[in-house]
Amino acid sequence: MSNQLSSIARWFRKIKEFLTADRSIDWATSGHKVVGYLTSKSANQNLYRSGQWGSFFNQLKPLWVAKVIGNILVLCIVLTLIYTYLAVQRLPRFSDAVQPAQIYQVHDIQQAAKLFGHKDLDLSKIQLTGLMRHDASSSGYAIFEIDGKNSGAIAVGETFDKGYFLKSLGSDSVEVVYQGKQISVPMTAKRF
C-alpha cells in the first residue's frame, strides 16, 4: 500500500514539475513519436516536418498553456455573470406592477357589444310552426321554420340550428335562448 502511495506521489510531482516548468516542448518530435508508434513511419514522415507548425509548437510552454486555459475559464465565468445580470434586468419590476391600470368606460353598450362580435338578433328568421306539449309535464316538442327550412321536431333542452336552445314550452309560444338572451317566440299561422 505504501509503495502505491509513494508511486502516486512521485507521479503527481512529475506532473507538477512538467506543468510549472518554464521550458519549451518539442511538440513536433513528441507528436511524431506518438504517431510512429500507432502507424508506420514511412506514411507519416512528412506530417510533422512542416516548418510553420513545427516552430509554432516548439515555442509552446506548458505554463503558458495552463495560463491560457485559466484565462479562458475566467472569461467564461465573467460572460456568464454578465448574461445572468442582463437576464435579471429584463424581468418586470415590482414597481411596474403596482401602477394602476387604466380603465375605459363605455357609455353605449350596443356599440361596445358590436366590437366583440355581437350581432343583433333578427327574430324574423325563426317562426314557430308546430307545438306538441304534455299537459302534466313541461316536456314536449316544437317545430320551427328557420330561413324557410323546416327544423324537424326539437325537444325541450335541445340545441338547434346555429345556437338556438329550446328552454321551455308555453300554451301557444316557446322560450328560446340565443346568445344568452331569452326570447319568446309565438305560434304563427302558416299561410298556404
In this structure, are residues 129 and 143 in contact, taking their beta carbons and an 8 Å threshold?
A: yes
For the segment(s) 123-186, the CATH number from 3.50.50.60, 2.60.40.420, 2.30.30.830, 3.30.450.40 is 2.30.30.830
In this structure, are residues 142 and 133 in contact, taking their beta carbons and an 8 Å threshold?
A: no
The rounded average pLDDT for each run of 10 residues, N- to C-terminus, in the chain (192 residues) is 82 79 60 56 49 64 86 96 90 69 72 70 80 78 87 89 86 85 81 47
Please report the pLDDT score of residue 126 as a whole number.
84
C-alpha to C-alpha distance for 36 and 182, rounded to whole angstroms? 94
What is the pTM (predicted TM-score) of this model? 0.39
Domain ranges of the chain: 2-88, 123-186
Sign of dihedral through CA atoms 77, 81, 84, 86?
negative
In this structure, are residues 45 and 77 in contact, taking their beta carbons and an 8 Å threshold?
A: no
Q: Let me know how long the chain is.
A: 192
Angle, in degrees to the nearest 10, between helices 2-20 and 62-89:
80
Please report the pLDDT score of residue 120 as a whole number.
66
Question: Hey, what's the torsion of the CAs at 180, 185, 191, 192, to 10 degrees?
Answer: 50
Give Cα separations from 67 to 30, 52, 70, 73 (angstroms).
22, 23, 5, 10
Please report the pLDDT score of residue 76 as a whole number.
96
Please report the pLDDT score of residue 83 as a whole number.
93
Please report the pLDDT score of residue 70 as a whole number.
93
Please report the pLDDT score of residue 108 as a whole number.
76
